[in-house]
Amino acid sequence: MRYLALFKALLKMRYIYLKRYYFDTVSMIVTMFLIFLLIFYGAMALLGGATPADSGDTLEGIVVGFMVWTFALVAYSNLSWGLIEEAQQGTLEQLYMSPLGFGWVTIFRVVANFIINAFMVFIVLLLMMATTGKWLNLDMLSLTPLILLTVAGAYGVGFLMGGLALVFKRVQSALQILQFVLVIFIAAPFGWMPFMKFLPLSLGTRLIGQVMIGELSLFQLPPGDVLFLIGNSAFYFGLGFLIFKLFENVARDRGLLGHY
C-alpha cells in the first residue's frame, strides 16, 4: 500500500508536469516528428525511391528504429537529466530520505516516466505511420513486453550516467554524445556482426521489427532470441543500477548528494 502511494505520487507529479507545461510536451512531440521526417525523407532520397512504397522494408525499419530510439532517448534522458535536475533544485536529498528507499523511488520514477512517455511516443508513431503511409502491426500484447525489455537496457545506461552525475556533477557532454551512441546500438547490423546483439537495444529493436513489420506475434519469435533479450536487458539494467548504487555510496561518503 505504501509503495503504491509512492508510485502514485511520482506518476501524478509527472502527469502534472506534462499537463502544466503542455507547450514543452507539444514541442517535444513536434521536434521528434520533424527529426523523423528529416531522417525518413533523407533515407528515401538515398535509396532512390520516389515514394515511400518504392523503398520497401528499409523505410519501415526506419520507422521502427526511430520509435525505439525515441523510447530509449526519453527513457535515458529522463533518468540521468532528472537526477541532475533534482540535485540542482535541492530535492534529491529529500527523495533520498524516503523510508521506502531511494532505489524504489528511482525505479518507480522510471516506471512512471515510461507510462507517460509511452503515450507521447505512441502519438509520434501514429504521426510517422500516417505520414509515410506504412501502417505497421500494432500487436500491443506482443509489443508491450518487447518494448519494456528493450528500453530496460537504455534505463541501465541512464542509471550509469545518473550515478556518474551524482559524483561528477557536470556530465552533460557525455550525455549528449551517448544519445548518438544509442543510434549505433539500435542500427547495429548484427546480420554480419553477430556480436552486436550483446549490445543494449540491438536485439530488442530487431525483434520489435519482426512484430511490427513481419507481423509475427511474441510467441512466433525464436524463443532463444526472446530469452537472450531478457538476459541482455536484465544484465544492462542490473549493471547500470549496481553502478548507480555504487556511485550513490561514493556521493554519500563525500557528502555530494546535495551539491551541484
Partner 1 sequence: METVLHVKDLTKLYRQRRAEAVVAVDRVSFSVRKNEVVGLLGPNGAGKTTTIKCIAGLIKPTSGEIWLDGVDALRRPTRAMEKVAALLEGNRNIYWRLTVRENLEFFAGLQGYPVGKVKGYIDELIELFDLKEKERTTARKLSRGMQQKLALACALVRQTEVLLLDEPTLGLDVETSYEMRHVLKEMAARGERTILLSSHDMHVVQDICQRVVIINNGRVVVDDRVTSLMKLFQASAYRFEIEGQLSAELELKLKGRFPLLALSATDHRTYIDADLEDDTQLYEVMDILRDGRTQIKSIGHKEPNLEEIFLRIVKGS
Q: What gap in Å lies between CA 260 and CA 243, rounded to an integer? A: 20
Binding site for partner 1 (CB under 8 A): 1-6, 8-10, 12-13, 16-17, 20-21, 89-91, 93-101, 105, 249, 252-255, 257-258
CB of 20 to partner 1, least distance (A): 7
C-alpha cell at 195: 556480436
Q: Which three cell numbers stand for residue 49?
A: 525511391
Q: Which is nearer to partner 1, 6 or 175 (CB)?
A: 6
Please report how close the Cβ of residue 182 comes to partner 1 at its closest, in angstroms: 28
Minimum distance of partner 1 from residue 107's CB (angstroms): 14
Nearest partner of 199 among 72, 98, 75, judged by Cα: 72
Residue 155's nearest CA partner among 62, 237, 99, 50 is 237
Nearest distance in Å: CB 3, partner 1: 7
Smallest distance from partner 1 to CB 157, Å: 26
Distance CA 144, CA 138 (A): 10
Residue number with CB closer to partner 1 (25 or 98): 98
C-beta of 58 vs 94, nearer to partner 1: 94
Q: Is the dihedral of CA 168, 186, 204, 62 positive or negative?
A: positive
Q: What is the DSSP letter of 1?
A: -
Is the Cβ–Cβ distance between 136 and 213 less than 8 Å?
Answer: yes
Cβ proximity to partner 1, 8 vs 45, nearer residue: 8
How far apart CA 197 and CA 208 sit, in angstroms, is 14
* 124 vs 256, beta carbon nearer partner 1: 256
Residue 168: CB minimum distance to partner 1, A: 15
Nearer to partner 1, 1 or 50 (CB): 1
Nearest alpha carbon to residue 119 among 25, 260, 45, 251: 25
